[in-house]
Amino acid sequence: RYSLAIVGINLTNMIYQALVNGPLRTHFYNIAEKAPRIQDFHEVYCHVFWEFDKFWFDEEPVDIMQFGPMRDKFNRKLLHKLSKSQTILQSEFQKKE
Ligand SMILES: *[C@@H]1O[C@H](CO)[C@@H](O)[C@H](O)[C@H]1NC(C)=O
């Protein structure tokens, strides 16, 4: 278990950093909407939260004290994905059509 609000704020910050530092451009470039809208950012957030939740339970951390290292590991995986030019951050449940 973890606190939804704390983790939510933290993941928002993680995504925001990926946005301002550049890596998230891969995703926005690939979804090819004219200019990214705030809605696109929300969708990335939903995807990242969903993925983090799976990651957290797969990793089976003993308690919330593991949040720091788990977050770093997850962030590395996220940045690695974004380093591949074809990456789109989207979950199955977000696919349109
Ligand atoms: C997110 O969590 C990390 C690790 O616990 C911490 O160092 C960082 O300050 C947190 N960032 C925010 C915005 O809460």
Over residues 23-51, the pLDDT tens digits come to 999 999 999 767 888 899 999 999 999 99
Task: List ligand 1's pocket residues with C-beta within 6 A.
Answer: 9-10, 13, 67-68, 71
The pLDDT of residue 29 is 92
Closest C-alpha residue for ligand 1 atom 11: 10
Pocket test residue of 6, 7, 13, 76 for ligand 1, highest count of atoms within 8 A of CB: 13
Phi, psi (rounded to 5 degrees) for 22: 115, -40
Does pTM top 0.85 for this prediction? yes
User: pLDDT-based confidence at 72, cuts 50/70/90?
Assistant: very high
- pLDDT, the chain, mean: 93
**Residue 14 lies in domain:** 4-94
The pLDDT of residue 89 is 97
Name the one residue in this structure whose structure tokens are 């990456």. 87
Is 1's pLDDT higher than 90? no
Number of domains in the chain: 1
Q: For residues 74 and 9, is the Cβ–Cβ distance under 8 A? A: no
